[in-house]
Amino acid sequence: MEKKDKMAVSRKGLGLMLAGLLVMVAGYILMMGGGSDDPQVFNYAMFDFRRLVAAPVVILAGIVVEVVAILGVCRAKKKSE
């Protein structure tokens, strides 16, 4: 039986996954706000560039970083075997 004392994810992969998570959290923070205190008053700040374009792009960038972190770990493991 083989000895399995190696982690499934390397330290670099964990760092990239944490970075991707932080980028996604930043995107969700960009998406916050824009509500109105009075439900009878329409607030146009809800439809600005930051909430409709910038925040989703930042969230997608975080997802791409996560995918690269996961696939990069798999690629590194194949080279070491």
* Distance between CA atoms of residues 1 and 64, nearest Å: 37
How confident is the model at residue 37, as a pLDDT?
79
For residues 64 and 34, which has the higher predicted lDDT (pLDDT)?
64
How confident is the model at residue 26, as a pLDDT?
96
How confident is the model at residue 9, as a pLDDT?
75
By the 10 Å C-beta count (0-12 exposed, 13-18 middle, 19+ buried), 68 is classed as middle
Listing DSSP states for 21-62 in one string gives HHHHHHHHHHH-----SSTTS--GGGGSHIIIIIHHHHHHHH
Average pLDDT, the chain: 83
Question: By percentage, how much of the chain surpasses pLDDT 70?
Answer: 81
For residues 80 and 18, which has the higher predicted lDDT (pLDDT)?
18
Residue spans of the domains in the chain: they are: 12-80
